[in-house]
């Protein structure tokens, strides 16, 4: 359980290893300092005291800390979120800092968080899903970052190249119909280059996707209620009469029967 303390600013360590921003904003530091000078209240800086040296390491609040230094304050309010912590405790907290508050994270800040996790020896075998959860980013961003780090094309780069070639890269070559697979196999057997086969299939799928789909008429509340009543009647082999007034607000799939009505119907069944 965290607790709030007022400690000497000299005991607080702003270690660059735990700075989750790609770059600090001097303008924001000055803005915070001015607001503090006017008496505005700020959340305490989140810290973890390491068991190794007993110092308070900042996990969230580097700009607020810098604002205190700007005002030459000797004391600072901190929220001790863990005592006798470890390096990993600070890392786990700092990579998700500013996810829901403070200066909004840029893509560069999110990539910095991913880089911090990937650079940690203890997390070398961590999966992409867990990295995304820990850094509070999307899995596609983690995948793109790893690909870029390995010198491979990212999804956006693939799409840009596909647009230049007139091919929709969002269509997966693996999602072919039986007819498309037969044509692809025939082209392959005829010695057609694989890149040409893939480009042809992707263009074919993209053209099919652009064809207008027939509009489906949405059922009215009354029709949905009648279908539900018919379904209940068939399952119980009884006749059920319902009115629109008996239905609760419509969901995407069906009109729900009021609980009291359903209970009475079950009792009669």
Domains of the chain: 3-148 (3.90.1530.10), 166-210 (no CATH), 221-268 (no CATH)
Question: For 129-178, how does the pLDDT look when each residue is reduced to its tens digit (9 = 90+)?
Answer: 999 999 999 888 898 888 888 888 777 777 666 666 555 555 555 567 88
pLDDT-derived band at 104, boundaries 50, 70, 90: confident
pLDDT-derived band at 266, boundaries 50, 70, 90: low
Question: Using CA atoms, how far apart are residues 162 and 143, in angstroms rounded to an integer?
Answer: 19
User: 6: helix, coil or strand?
Assistant: strand
Question: Using CA atoms, how far apart are residues 201 and 131, in angstroms rounded to an integer?
Answer: 34
What does the block give as tokens for 213? Answer: 């789909």
Average pLDDT over residues 17-27: 88
Question: For 211-249, how does the pLDDT look when each residue is reduced to its tens digit (9 = 90+)?
Answer: 666 677 777 777 777 777 777 767 666 555 555 555 555
Backbone angles phi, psi at 220, to 5 degrees: -80, 170
pLDDT-derived band at 253, boundaries 50, 70, 90: very low
Question: Using CA atoms, how far apart are residues 183 and 7, in angstroms rounded to an integer?
Answer: 72
User: 50: helix, coil or strand?
Assistant: strand
Q: pTM of this prediction?
A: 0.56
pLDDT-derived band at 75, boundaries 50, 70, 90: very high
Of residues 204 and 40, more confidently modeled = 40
Give residue 193's pLDDT.
83
Question: Using CA atoms, how far apart are residues 73 and 90, in angstroms rounded to an integer?
Answer: 24
What does the block give as tokens for 3? Answer: 């607790």
Question: For 201-214, how does the pLDDT look when each residue is reduced to its tens digit (9 = 90+)?
Answer: 888 877 776 666 66
User: At a CB cut-off of 8 Å and minimum separation 6, what does 269 contact?
Assistant: 236, 238
Neighbours of 69 (CB within 10 A): 14
Give the CA radius of gyration of the chain.
30
Q: Would you say 53 and 15 are in contact if contact means Cβ atoms under 8 Å apart?
A: no
In terms of phi and psi (left: phi > 0; alpha: psi -120 to 50; beta: otherwise), the region of 11 is alpha
Q: Would you say 78 and 9 are in contact if contact means Cβ atoms under 8 Å apart?
A: no
- The pLDDT of residue 80 is above 80: yes
What does the block give as tokens for 151? Answer: 């010198």
Mean pLDDT of the residues in the chain: 79
**DSSP per-residue string spanning 142-178:** HHHHHHHHTTPPPHHHHHHHHHHHT--TTS-TTS--H
Closest CA to 143 of 163, 162, 127: 127
- The pLDDT of residue 259 is above 50: no
């Amino acid at each position: 359980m965290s607790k709030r303390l007022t400690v000497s600013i000299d005991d607080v360590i702003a270690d660059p290893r735990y700075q989750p921003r790609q770059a600090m904003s001097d303008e924001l530091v000055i803005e915070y300092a001015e607001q503090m000078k006017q008496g505005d209240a700020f959340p305490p800086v989140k810290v973890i005291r390491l068991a190794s040296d007993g110092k308070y390491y900042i996990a969230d609040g580097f700009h607020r800390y810098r604002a205190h230094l700007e005002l030459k304050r000797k004391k600072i309010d901190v929220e001790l979120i863990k005592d006798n912590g470890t390096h990993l405790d600070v890392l786990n907290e700092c990579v998700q800092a500013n996810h829901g508050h403070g200066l909004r994270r840029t893509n560069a800040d999110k990539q910095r968080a991913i880089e911090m996790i990937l650079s940690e020896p203890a997390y070398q075998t961590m999966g992409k899903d867990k990295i995304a959860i820990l850094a509070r980013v999307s899995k596609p961003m983690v995948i793109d970052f790893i690909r870029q780090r390995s010198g491979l094309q990212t999804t956006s780069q693939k799409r840009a190249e596909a647009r230049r070639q007139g091919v929709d890269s969002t269509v997966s070559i693996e999602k072919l119909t039986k007819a498309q697979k037969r044509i692809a196999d025939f082209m392959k057997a005829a010695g057609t280059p694989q890149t040409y086969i893939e480009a042809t299939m992707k263009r074919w799928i993209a053209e099919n996707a652009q064809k207008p789909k027939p509009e489906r008429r949405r059922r009215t509340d009354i029709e949905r209620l009648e279908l539900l009543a018919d379904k209940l009647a068939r399952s119980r082999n009884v006749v059920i009469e319902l009115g629109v007034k008996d239905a609760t607000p419509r969901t995407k799939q069906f009109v729900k029967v009021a609980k009291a009505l359903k209970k009475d119907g079950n009792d009669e069944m």
